[in-house]
A and B are shown apart, each in its own frame.
Chain A
Amino acid sequence: AQSVTQPDIHITVSEGASLELRCNYSYGATPYLFWYVQSPGQGLQLLLKYFSGDTLVQGIKGFEAEFKRSQSSFNLRKPSVHWSDAAEYFCAVGDGRNTDKLIFGTGTRLQVFP
């Protein structure tokens, strides 16, 4: 069965520090991978997605993620975190390009200290 694991429940970083949020997936075929951010009172917003091609994908707000098939990972990174990045981050795997069914990880809460 498809599954997504986000090993880190809560991460705290200082503003300006680099960030890496981990995501591992279990999927039998070529995965369609997504990262979403959820801020309080707002809906999930898509940060970036991977379908095929270049394994390093760029997203909005300065985020990037790298697909590593050998490690079944799709880690999210940002070189310098801003206080406004504090939020909940979800990794997800989709059944297809049209995201008919998204399987989400349990999320990682990011806290940013000034």
Chain B
Amino acid sequence: GAVVSQHPSWVICKSGTSVKIECRSLDFQATTMFWYRQFPKQSLMLMATSNEGSKATYEQGVEKDKFLINHASLTLSTLTVTSAHPEDSSFYICSARGMTSGSYNEQFFGPGTRLTVL
């Protein structure tokens, strides 16, 4: 199957700093990428959907100025957590999907990034 990587796998930062997380599709072109957030013992919550070359679409309640998403190429999307605070500490997961062709197109998930804000 297709491979999606995330970098870094974990990051610790001070409150008030910004953190960038990368999501890469390694062996396919991802026209759409998704960013999820997972709290301990809770389900994955979709934060935003981004299509290559377009602005991301954020889910209700997600601050777009807080969580900046860039999908500048068909293999890379980045999530920047700006002015991070302890409540932003979480597990962030990206997924990627190739071009739709009318039939089912699977989302492929990255391994996640653990963010801890001190």
A→B interface (CB under 8 Å):
4, 9, 36, 41-46, 49, 51, 90, 97-102, 104-107
B→A interface (CB under 8 Å):
1, 4, 9, 41-46, 49, 93, 95, 97, 100, 103-112
Is the pair B97, A98 in contact by a Cβ cutoff of 8 Å? Answer: yes
Enumerate 11 A-B pairs (CB-CB under 8 Å) in ascending A order: A4-B43, A43-B93, A43-B95, A44-B95, A97-B103, A97-B104, A99-B97, A100-B49, A105-B43, A106-B41, A106-B43
Is the pair B106, A99 in contact by a Cβ cutoff of 8 Å? Answer: yes
Task: Kindly list chain A residues whose C-beta atoms are within 8 Å of the C-beta of B45.
Answer: 104
Contact of B44 among A42, A90, A97, A99 (CB under 8 A): A90
Count of chain A to chain B residue pairs whose CB atoms are closer than 8 Å in the complex? 51
Contact of B109 among A45, A51, A97, A98 (CB under 8 A): A45
Report the minimum CB–CB distance from A37 to chain B (whole Å): 11
Q: Say whether, besides A43-B111, A99-B97, A51 and B44 are in contact (CB < 8 Å).
A: no
**Complex: how many Å from CA A11 to CA B106?**
28
Instruction: Please give me the residue from chain B that is nearest to A104 by CB atom.
Output: B43
Contact of B112 among A43, A90, A107 (CB under 8 A): A43
Instruction: Please give me the residue from chain A that is nearest to B104 by CB atom.
Output: A97
Among B9, B104, B107, B110: residue with most chain A CB under 10 A: B107
